[in-house]
Amino acid sequence: MRLPPSDLPVTGALPALLSALAEAGVAVLTAPPGAGKSTLVPLALLDAAWLGSQRVVLLEPRRLAARALAARMASLLGEEVGATVGYRMRQDTKVSRVTRLEVVTEGVLTRMLQDDPALEGVGAVLFDEFHERSLQADLGLALTIDARANLRPDLRLLAMSATLDGSR
């Protein structure tokens, strides 16, 4: 899959980010709003060699934003939502057997981790808008870190934010 051409600021950071995820397995990405964190980064991960045929799960805290984000990424690929990019939230799901990138809300991620603590078939979990802290997002992060530490050392983890202090 080839990313559409983009002049968004995050484009220049993609090689270093992909390298960090390949080597360390974890990363924090800070960039201003509109830089392409939510759209270009998840799509770029789909081509990562370490991902193979596994899926990417992108946590988006708000339902409306999750739907809009999935629609935007699908349109960048020239597809409908539910093909390569889909979404999953309470009482509303658009995924298929070919979906490789799922935008999910906080409660869905928690349920996914409860049903399958190892997140089999998932290669990366991305926490978008990480500065918007909530009990559900923190629980999702804790369970994902636990899965990575104890069950899936190959699981990649990325936190993205416009306001988070990434150096810490």
49 has a pLDDT exceeding 70: yes
pLDDT for 81 equals 97
Parallel, antiparallel, or unpaired for β 156-161 and 122-127?
parallel
166 has a pLDDT exceeding 60: no
**Cut 0.75: pTM above it:** yes
Q: CA nearest 95: which of 118, 124, 120, 74?
A: 74
φ, ψ at 72 (rounded to 5°): -65, -45
- In this prediction, residues 145-168 reach a mean pLDDT of 85
> What digits encode the pLDDT tens for the residues 18-33?
999 999 999 999 888 8
36 has a pLDDT exceeding 90: no
